[in-house]
Amino acid sequence: MTLAEDEAFRARVEQQLEGVERRLGQVALGADNPFIAEASRHVINAGGKRFRPLLVALTSHLGPQPSDERMELASAVVELTHVASLYHDDVMDEASMRRGVTSANVAYGNSIAIMVGDWLFSRASSLVTQLGTEFVRLQADTFSELVAGQIGEMRGSDAGEDPLSHYLDVIAGKTGALIRTSVLFGAMTSHAEPRVLEALGRFGMQIGMVFQLSDDLIDITSTTTGKTPGTDLREHVATLPILLLDASEDPEDEPLKQLLADDLADDRELARALSMLRASHVIEEARDEIMARAEAARAELAILPQGPARRALDRVCDEVVSRSH
């Protein structure tokens, strides 16, 4: 019975996500200026994981009054917010590719990319008003956290501040906050009870952290995802494995520390750094941290009613962890 129920639930969620895609396409079509419509479709049409809309869809079944219309609106809000942040990120990171296509900053120039990101933020802000003041308030707070996280990443840690704590605060703002809001939005569209929302908020933040920590580890370990490994290393972006290495007092880690501090523009030096880092103890330590956070997220699901939605969220815990292995 459970298998049949889960398969029916999967088909239902896929149907919901098809509705979200149509809604996202309508946003660009709603632009008065054809150029803005084209530029805003640039990243939206490239697809992506649609992880945030998936979470909205899954949690939209946890309340007594599910609504596809409200779920689609909420999904569009979080995905547009995410995509808008990508336009800005690519300018700041001087990226050349995004989701397998030329990044918007390369296609249209930095200034246009920033303004299109702003336009998408404005569309998300307009859509969220249709859901009510609680949604508007949460969206505004989330946007504030996202910006604070980005600023924190740009500034780096202050003198005397623990770099690892700073890094975790940054990813909580840049990634965790919007994923937490995605989880909450879905449940709110179906009028889930307060104690469920409280647990889901904690779940969403932990899963958001796991998602970003896994992504950062993939930059080092993966050779099969299509993502160019070592991008963060080359740009000297300190992610969890690097921070764990920096904190190590083991003398055997010194050669790798010195190598990572050097210019890694040469492909051979980058390959050597990746090889040494992949063999380092910090990779397993990072995976242990990711696993611990995933289990903390899973524990928050205990309060949810048994059923396919809860089981699907449980599987999300496993799938987000498996990305980094």
We report the CATH number of the domain holding residue 293 as 1.10.600.10
Look at residue 261 and tell me if it is in a domain. Answer: yes
Average pLDDT over residues 276-280: 96
Q: Structurally, how many domains does the chain consist of? A: 1
Look at residue 9 and tell me if it is in a domain. Answer: no
Structural domain boundaries, residue 221: 207-324
Look at residue 161 and tell me if it is in a domain. Answer: no
Look at residue 300 and tell me if it is in a domain. Answer: yes
Look at residue 30 and tell me if it is in a domain. Answer: no
Amino acid, res. 205: M
The tokens describing 42, both together, are 């640039």
Q: With a cut of 50, say whether residue 243 has pLDDT above it.
A: yes
pLDDT class of 226 with cuts at 50, 70, 90 = very low
Distance CA 196, CA 303 (A): 7
Average pLDDT over residues 269-295: 96
Task: Say if CB 53 and CB 81 are below 8 A apart.
Answer: no
Look at residue 308 and tell me if it is in a domain. Answer: yes
| Neighbour tally for 291: CB within 10 Å | 15
The model's pLDDT over 117-154, given as tens digits with 9 standing for 90+, comes to 999 999 999 999 999 999 999 999 999 999 999 999 98
Classify residue 178 by burial, with Cβ atoms within 10 Å: 0-12, 13-18, 19+: buried
Look at residue 302 and tell me if it is in a domain. Answer: yes
Please identify which residue in the block is written with the tokens 């995509």.
83
Amino acid, res. 90: D
Task: Say if CB 186 and CB 62 are below 8 A apart.
Answer: yes
Average pLDDT over residues 163-191: 97
Distance CA 71, CA 56 (A): 7
Q: For 147, what's the count of Cα atoms within 13 Å in the CB-facing half-sphere?
A: 8
Task: Say if CB 131 and CB 189 are below 8 A apart.
Answer: yes
Q: What is the DSSP secondary structure assignment for residue 302, as one 8-state letter?
A: G
